[in-house]
Structure 1
Amino acid sequence: MIGIWQSASQTYLLGLCIVTTAVFALPITFAPLRWARLMRWRIPEHTDLAVYFGRCLGCFILIVEALMLRAALAGTAIVPTFEILVAIFAGMVLLHVVGAIQRIQPWTETAEIGLYSLLLALTLGFFPVAA
């Protein structure tokens, strides 16, 4: 059963990427409350929406943690793991800068601009490159 359609794996990934980007990633990133309303959350009555988004984010963080642990212990996929971390930290810097400019986040979130900038710089400094 596993891999029975492996010859089309790249096509599958492309299609999955297009659909999930359009339906989930872009709307949740740029219009989370509008997306939530489309998904039938009642805003602002459904305060569980914050819990839902937090759990979703937490799951993705745990996936990244597992990738880092595997790369650190076994050296498996170390370059892609660093690429993912660079993308995450750069995105988090941008996200927190936008939130600061819009004045829609507490000062603690604005302070994280420095944290994510430092993590981005460290990750780039430790990035494994071929000799």
Structure 2
Amino acid sequence: MSVAMLETGLGMWGAYAGPCLMYLAWGALLLFGLPLLLWPLRWARLLGWASTPQDHLAIYFGRTLGMVTCAMSIAALMAVNHPSLWPLLYNLNIMIFLANTGVHAWGAIKRIQPMAETWEIPYWFALAAVQYLFYPATHWTWG
């Protein structure tokens, strides 16, 4: 890894990449993935979205996102003891968290989402920053 990348903070806490990945995976699974998979409309109403019990598209998309989150979380938990997989998961997490930052910012700009979703903008950005700081720098290579 280059000195310039260390100077920008990439992986400054990389020695704790494994525990960070594990805690993030458990948190995502228990606080986001499973609730969204099992109760998508309750989750939506909690955040301020209007929905009806017959809102089948919202149920479908909520459960789909919940299942993807559960699958990512389980994959991360399986990879905790395999450090060679950590850069892949950290890169994926950073991309997902930055994309969520953008999606929530766009919704705020267009004024098409409840305020709770707008409050999530710094949350998603902070998750990306945490992944950047805990990046497994000792395992980082370009190729």
- TM class, shorter-length: 0.5 to 0.7
Residue equivalent to 2:126 = 118
Instruction: State the aligned residue count.
Output: 88
Q: Secondary structure at the match of 1:77?
A: helix
How far off is 1:76 after superposition?
5.0
Aligned counterpart in structure 1 of residue 87 of structure 2, from 58, 79, 87: 79
Of 48-57 and 72-81, deviating more is 72-81
- Alignment partners' CA distance in 2, 1:106 and 1:58: 20
User: Residues 130 and 75 from structure 1, CA distance in 2 versus in 1: closer, same or farther, beyond 3 angstroms?
Assistant: closer
Residue equivalent to 2:96 = 88
Identical-residue share of aligned pairs (%): 32
Root mean square deviation of aligned Cα: 2.0
- Alignment partners' CA distance in 1, 2:66 and 2:59: 10
Q: Secondary structure at the match of 2:112?
A: coil
Does the Cα contact within 8 Å between 1:96 and 1:109 map onto a contact in 2?
yes
Residue deviations 1:68-95 (CA, integer Å, cap 9, x gap):
2122234351110001100100100000
Q: Which contiguous aligned blocks of 4+ residues in structure 1 show a shift greater than 3 angstroms?
A: none
- Alignment partners' CA distance in 1, 2:82 and 2:136: 14
- Alignment partners' CA distance in 2, 1:56 and 1:69: 20
Q: Which amino acid aligns with 2:138?
A: A
TM-score, normalisation: structure 1: 0.61
Aligned counterpart in structure 2 of residue 49 of structure 1, from 57, 67, 73: 57
TM-score, normalisation: structure 2: 0.56
Does the Cα contact within 8 Å between 1:82 and 1:127 map onto a contact in 2?
yes
